[in-house]
A and B are shown apart, each in its own frame.
Chain A
């Protein structure tokens, strides 16, 4: 078990006032909240932040934690000395609304677990004490654009909250296989009924909500169901028109480029986006003219001939 420096987590000095702790927590909570911050470790950091605040906002827990002094460094191997908490009274009480089942072993070794009693969100139905529906579990699942284009199957392992016979909340690994339908788009949720936390008594399990996220693609970007690609073309392909090969999520297709095309011209490949059974997505190809660098004298001469034969001022629109 590693020592956790809660002051470091909140970016505070050890003599910070309770008001400073509250302000630092609120500022970082807004920054790291998983609904706001899309980085892959936001959820983990938000949990660490909640754990640090759980300890430091409570003067009793903070005093006990401070007893360790400044000898410990974050990440150092740590075992609490026996009877270290003599003289402090906080066990079983003083928990905030944070979900203590998410706290680290380090936290548990010092302060124990809370009773597992659920704190209701505002407007939530109160549950009967002995028949509580299991917690809903929210997780993110990262798939590729190709997975969505074709539909796929995924097997994932998640931590599922469980309540033991003593009412303690813990987690257990839960492996599931699900079919991801063709045409699912980023941000959409998949609900798996009864695959969340176990219920107690006769109440049912909670649900599992999986949010779809796409792994960054090497060449494509997306906008809801539509796929975008920047397609490099030569000046003569753009000027004279050509049929060129274009990658799509479903393989290579031939695209006819009309003569007289310019950089930025957008062409549509119908139905080549993330189409579902009821809605179509398309692929949009934006042309980007690549000018070959003239190296030999003969190549330079061709450009000079073009300048003579096709005098053009592309900056007319700029008034120069």
Chain B
């Protein structure tokens, strides 16, 4: 066991990956990435597939899509819809004030 701080990458919009890196990271083939782009699951940066790159935030969308496909047998349009709804739900949940009873005495 060690307390060395491990190097890590935050998958935010400041990090980008090439198509090849995306495929390796998510363990999918390029065909699957193309299908996800066509379905609007992910959006590449760049107008030509040869210079496409992807914001690292897209990695999570690819991973969730794959899990929904495998675990729930959702097809790609269904996964795209579920992803959008899940994001909207998460945004709304963030705005709900904390419902936990206050521990402070009046």
Contact = CB atoms under 8 A, between A and B. Distances in A.
Interface in B51-91: 56-57, 59-60, 63-64, 66-73, 82, 86, 90-91
A155 B5 CA distance: 9
B87 to A, nearest CB: 8
A61 B3 CA distance: 45
A228 B92 CA distance: 13
B27 A136 contact: yes
B106 to A, nearest CB: 14
A230 B90 CA distance: 20
Interface residues of B, number: 47
A51 interface: no
A179 B63 CA distance: 23
A209 B64 CA distance: 12
A121 B14 contact: no
Contacts of B32: 122-123
Contacts of A211: 60
A223 B97 CA distance: 12
B101 to A, nearest CB: 11
A149 to B, nearest CB: 15
B70 A121 contact: yes
A39 to B, nearest CB: 12
Interface string A277-295: 0100000000000000000
Contacts of A228: 95
B3 A177 contact: yes
A37 to B, nearest CB: 10
B69 to A, nearest CB: 6
A276 B14 CA distance: 10
